[in-house]
Amino acid sequence: DLTGLARVKEGRNPEPTASVIDTQSVKTSTNVPLTSQGTDAAKKIVGRKRGILTDTLGLILAVIVTAASLSENAVGIHLINQAKKTYPSISKSWVDTGFKNAMVEHGASLGVDVEVVHRKSDAPGFHVVKRRWVVERSLGWIMLRRRLARDYETLPTSSEAMIHIASIDNLAKRITDETTPTWRGTY
């Protein structure tokens, strides 16, 4: 398991005990069927919603891609079910305020303490939110892949596969301490 290797390299137990969950709505290309798209009313985006569950290092443990109209609770419940099957050791999870009581209650039924992390309402602009920055960084990493900047895939499962491929690249870099060769700085 590459995730276990990366965790051990960072001095962690190979089995994660905590996770962070978030979603991201992305626009779709013209070849995506309308049946697999939706409108995220909160973000005013027509497209798909990506949900990821990461460990505390930002390693992706579970992925789902759905129509953007699906609620964060529904996405979160699917993610925590998927992660709990693969990593039964997970007992804590942090989510943002988009996730409501249904997610907290479902997590409790699985033995996972789901904590909703609130933003500091008095602080204007960007600031680091407890534990949530890890999953935001992971979403940023996958957005670096040109193919994931927008959802081009006909099937949501193909989009999930592309996210897994980006995650494998990240894991390989962490395990081997190698970076992808770049043309920048060479003339």
Task: Spell out the domain ranges in the chain.
Answer: 2-122+129-175
Q: Considering the domain delimited by 2-122+129-175, tell me its CATH architecture.
A: 2-Layer Sandwich (3.30)
Question: With contact defined as beta carbons under 8 Å apart, do 91 and 19 qualify?
Answer: no
Q: What is the pLDDT of residue 174?
A: 86
Report the 10 Å Cβ neighbour count for 127: 9
Tell me which of 77-91, 149-163, 164-178 is least confident: 164-178
- Inter-residue long-range contacts of 161-166, CB under 8 Å, 24+ positions, other chains counted: 163/50, 163/52, 163/60, 163/63, 163/65, 164/60, 164/63, 166/141, 166/142
d(CA 40, CA 27): 10
User: Confidence band (pLDDT; 50, 70, 90) for 182?
Assistant: low
Give the tens place of pLDDT for each residue, 107-133: 999 999 999 888 777 767 766 777 888
CA angle centred on 34, ends 29 and 35, rounded to 5°: 135
The larger pLDDT score, comparing residue 130 to residue 154, is at 154
Please enumerate in sequence order all residues whose Cβ is within 8 A of that of 176, keeping only pairs 6 or more positions apart, or say none.
Answer: none
Average pLDDT over residues 2-13: 88
Give the tens place of pLDDT for each residue, 52-106: 999 999 999 999 999 999 999 999 999 999 999 999 999 999 998 888 889 999 9
Query: Could you give phi then psi for residue 112, rounded to 5 degrees?
Result: -115, 125
Give the tens place of pLDDT for each residue, 136-148: 889 988 988 888 8
User: Confidence band (pLDDT; 50, 70, 90) for 186?
Assistant: low
